[in-house]
Amino acid sequence: MEEREQVPAYEDCLDYTPTARSVSLARRRAARLVTAWGHPELAGDAALLVSELATNALLHGCLRDRLFRVRITLGAAALRIEVTDPRGETGPSPRTAAHDEQFGRGLLLVEALADRWGTEPRTVGKVVYAELSIRAYKGDDGPVIPRPELKLPALRQAVATVAPSRLPEFFEELQQAFVRAGDEDSVVPIRMFYRRWGVVVEIERHPERAQRLHAAERAVDSPDPKARAAAILEAGEIVRAAHREVAGG
């Protein structure tokens, strides 16, 4: 039976003009995204890989007035960086640069840094990719932090640790909960807020579980009805299990 390609939990794809400034922009974007996706420990390596692959594309793979593309995906097992350029006839190969050469060391850095790297042909052009393994996520999907108390300081710290990109959403919903509590003269909206974010943290503190949920959320938009139904079922099971765990304390 043919193995189904896994849907990444996160994905970013952007085209750049073939200039040195674009390399800098792509590098900073990569670091910001990988940090927001919950892997600050990989942000530096990801930024360096994007920089080296984009520079290689700029020097050897780009044509005038043709864009190059940087795609970054995060799956359960690896962070993958792809740089696509329009010249398929020029494949990359690491070489030892002379001591006075400005360029020539980039692919040696990629080879040393990445767990896997290579090239893939396209109808027009090629893709050069590099992957960083998510080593901390291997094993039995143990929690990366203890389950926090359903109190504001503990929840805020937990969200900042396991889902930092969602902090603006956290504070916005916190404000809304306190406004509703005042309007209704009831603590129920605040308790509901604590419960909701307790469930978010419960899922995100188990990385493999979080990856499965994010993949299912993306698959809900699939044009395949069976894939959508399976994704809805998967997401529902994960969320219900987290609700039970939070309720059970």
pLDDT in tens, 131-152: 998 864 444 457 888 999 999 9
Q: Which tops the pLDDT comparison, 67 or 164?
A: 67
Sign of CA dihedral 13, 239, 38, 120: negative
In order of start, what are the domains of the chain with their CATH numbers?
A: 10-137 (3.30.565.10), 152-248 (no CATH)
What is the C-alpha separation between 184 and 176, in angstroms, rounded? 12
For residue 3, name the pLDDT band (cuts at 50, 70, 90): very low
pTM, entire model: 0.50
pLDDT in tens, 7-55: 788 999 999 988 889 999 999 999 999 988 988 878 888 998 999 999 9
